[in-house]
Structure 1
Amino acid sequence: MCDNPGGFWVRLGAAILDGILLFIVSALLNFALFQQFVSEPNNITHAIDLLYYLLLPVFWYGYTVGKRALGIRIARVDGRKVGIGTMLMRNFVAGIAYLLTLGIGVIVSAFMVGLREDKRSIHDFIAGTYVTYDKPE
């Protein structure tokens, strides 16, 4: 449980890499469909983000491209495989919690990842997950 946890900086780096990748994919898709680069998020951008953060970790053992590049992944505390329900809890339910706290929950989560020994944030507690350097079994 919570062995070899990934800390704040590596998680931030992975999030930045994921954001860059999603920006490029969304821009290219918008250009292909509308012959222009759309600077504001639209339904296509939201759909790509949804599929990426919800499904990719389920099918790729807890990895996103950014997490894989930096050698970390999402794992369940109970050792089971990350599933759709886990990712829904991690992304949507936690997102609602962060929204209801007007962003204060995001700040608290950042401190939790930076200061806690197990490096778990609010969305990790909600979903029963943690981020680890350990490879999937």
Structure 2
Amino acid sequence: MTQWYYADASGQRQGPFSAAELEGHVRHARLDANTLVWREGLQDWQPLGSLASELDLPLDTLASPAPDTALPGADLPYAPPAADLASFQPVASGHLVHAGLWKRFAASFIDSIVTTIISYALMIPLMLIGVGVMGAGGSDNPFATGAGIASMLAIYPILFLAPCIYFGWMQSSSLQASLGKLAVGIKVARIDGQRMSFWRGFLRSLAYLVFTMVTCGLGVLISGLMVALTERKQALHDMLCDTLVVDKWAFTAFPERQRDELGVVTIVILVLAGLAIVGSIAIYAVMGAMLMKDLS
């Protein structure tokens, strides 16, 4: 059976599909005449409209290809050899925009809010269960006390597992990005542009958390300096896990859509993060002054 592939809006190759499945995509308006498709035997990608008769697609369901549609060439998704039909091959040529410190900081600000919400959503029920079990069993019941303490101790692994699972899942998905990275238009990829696995993403996040913990928080500053100063803007956990943080259009058929500038969304997030930091400092300063006043 002939296997077909098509290039989606972001320039990534999708497939394989049978001719019937491709027809289904057309009928559901997911593909049009200008969509680039490829099968074994074609030298290059071709507009779907030019292959309508071969696929037995009703011409009235396809818009006519635009006369200025670009011909397939070096800037289009790689047409794989037959031995590599089932695996995605990123476009590795062209200019590569690495995500800088400020974009990564803005993404981290959003992701810290997300992971905090997830962590507390898991921890609060465990705390309530622990307190409830100890209260129901009484102080003289060692089993109730032990079960309650165990429930409350389970909170600590959540602080590590919740963000690691979140980042591992999101960044190994087809999006290749957490919610924060999606917001600022960046993604995580292997050095060769491939999508990383869940466990690589999990260990990448764990390495960052452990590094931050053993350095008493200095790991955040060290990682930031490494991103700012290294050639490929890699933090230590990037180097350990063989990953890059790049523009969302990197390693696609449209590298010209990459942007070096921060963008409006990133600037807005940075302003909000700055206000949050200043507000936190002000609150701690007021609380410290009140405490000193009470002690004096």
Normalised-by-shorter TM-score class: 0.7 to 0.9
Aligned to 1:6: 99
Q: Distance in 1 between matches of 2:189 and 2:173?
A: 13
Instruction: Provide closer, same or farther for how the CA distance between residues 21 and 133 of structure 1 changes in structure 2, counting only shifts above 3 A.
Output: same
Spell out the pairing of 1:82-101 with structure 2 (5 A cutoff): 82-100=196-214
Aligned to 1:110: 224
Instruction: Provide closer, same or farther for how the CA distance between residues 42 and 105 of structure 1 changes in structure 2, counting only shifts above 3 A.
Output: closer
Q: Is the 8 A contact 1:109 1:121 kept in 2?
A: yes
- The alpha carbon displacement at 1:56 in A equals 1.4
Q: TM-score, normalised by structure 2?
A: 0.38
Q: Which amino acid is the alignment partner of residue 162 of structure 2?
A: I
Q: Distance in 2 between matches of 1:98 and 1:32?
A: 27
Q: Which amino acid is the alignment partner of residue 62 of structure 1?
A: Q
Q: Which deviations, in whole Å up to 9, do the C-alpha atoms of 1:31-71 show, x marking residues without a partner?
A: 67878xxxxx6555554323211211112432000000000
Q: Is the 8 A contact 1:61 1:82 kept in 2?
A: no
SS at structure 1 position matched to 2:98: coil
Q: Distance in 2 between matches of 1:101 and 1:8?
A: 20
Which shifted more, 46-55 or 64-73?
Answer: 46-55
SS at structure 1 position matched to 2:193: coil
Indicate the structure (1 or 2) with the bigger Cα radius of gyration: 2
**Structure 1 stretches of at least 4 aligned residues deviating more than 6 Å after TM superposition:** 31-35
- Select the structure that is richer in helix: 1
Q: Is the 8 A contact 2:176 2:187 kept in 1?
A: yes
Instruction: Provide closer, same or farther for how the CA distance between residues 33 and 72 of structure 1 changes in structure 2, counting only shifts above 3 A.
Output: same
Identity among equivalent positions (%) equals: 27
Q: TM-score, normalised by structure 1?
A: 0.74
Alignment of 1:16 with 2:109, yes or no, is yes
Gaps of 5+ in 1: 36-40
Instruction: Provide closer, same or farther for how the CA distance between residues 26 and 99 of structure 1 changes in structure 2, counting only shifts above 3 A.
Output: closer
Aligned to 1:131: 245
RMSD of aligned residue pairs (Cα, Å): 3.2
Aligned residues: 134
